[in-house]
A = this chain, B = another copy of it.
Amino acid sequence: MNTRPSLDQVGLSTGKKARLHRILHEYGVGNGTAIFLPYDHGLEHGPRDFSGHPEGGDPRNILRLALEGGFNGIALQIGLARKFYWEYAGEVPLVLKLNGKTDIPSPADPLSPVNATVEEAVRLGADAVGYTLYVGSPAQERDFAQYLRVREDAERFGMPLIVWSYPRGAAIDAKGGRDSFYAVDYAARTASELGADMVKVNFPQPGKQDGVPAAYRREFSAQQAIEAVVMSANRSLLLVSGGEQAGDEAMLEKARQSMEAGATGLIFGRNVFQRGHDDSLRLIAQLREILAKYPS
């Protein structure tokens, strides 16, 4: 088990520390952990993600859920932030997601284009910004270039930068796939080397070994894998994604393992809003119970 560092041990500027302190200690469970509600599926996957749960397509319901569920933040694209956040401004922290794309073309070289700026996030009173980095994509030259500009602005404005660090592209597919321990571990380290303040990864699957480097072609428990990923992220605080909807007990177990490994928190989207409001709140209550056991 790793010990999660406190905010004054991870090399933050004053502004980044102020904003992360608010997110981690003034909202949610308030003990230095976090659970975020990402809500950009309407762009990334289209309205099909709300199929069967039409109320999940209305941003007002999701903002209300974020507030009632005691989330530490909600991640929105600029359009929804501009038109829906005002009513909840300051009541639940805003993470402005700065890039995003549709999933209609199937790119061999994925890249998520920027569609909002850090300055706009400041203007909206956001407490963090999000950027999706496609680690391993052949488009990494353009990706790193646009990421650099985002990171510089984030430094300039003292805005915490959360990197959605996603292994993607043909080379990743050929080396164990996007959820392999190798891929997730490398993604966490890449975000850390490039200056993420927080990094969001999927839970690693050490069993996926086809084509991965020798160091990963051994037996690892899930717990060993997630602990290594926390180490690779070092001072970039780790958020573990719920990913596609799975069984509740499996999810809660992953959450426990992540927190035990020294993660800072969770980021759960479809798992939360692809169910009824009350059912969502019940799940969140269970997740909060887990977080409460890991004060920093």
Contacts and interface: CB of A to CB of B under 8 A. Distances in A.
Interface of A: 8, 10-11, 13-22, 25-26, 40, 42-43, 46-48, 51-52, 54, 57-59, 77-87, 89-91, 94, 100-102, 104-107, 111, 113-117, 119-120, 122-126, 135-138, 140-145, 147-148, 151-152, 155-158, 167, 169-172, 175, 182, 185-186, 188-196, 213-216, 228, 231-232, 234-236
A188 B46 CA distance: 9
Contacts of A105: 136-138, 140, 169-171
A125 B215 contact: no
Contacts of A94: 18
Contacts of A40: 193
Contacts of A236: 79, 83
A79 B125 contact: no
A21 B91 contact: yes
A124 B158 contact: yes
Pick from A91, A141, A156 the residue with the most CB of B within 10 Å.
Answer: A141
Nearest to A137: B105
B123 A158 contact: yes
Given A102-B190, A105-B140, A138-B105, A89 B125 contact: no
A125 B158 contact: yes
Pick from A18, A80, A140 the residue with the most CB of B within 10 Å.
Answer: A18
A136 B195 CA distance: 30
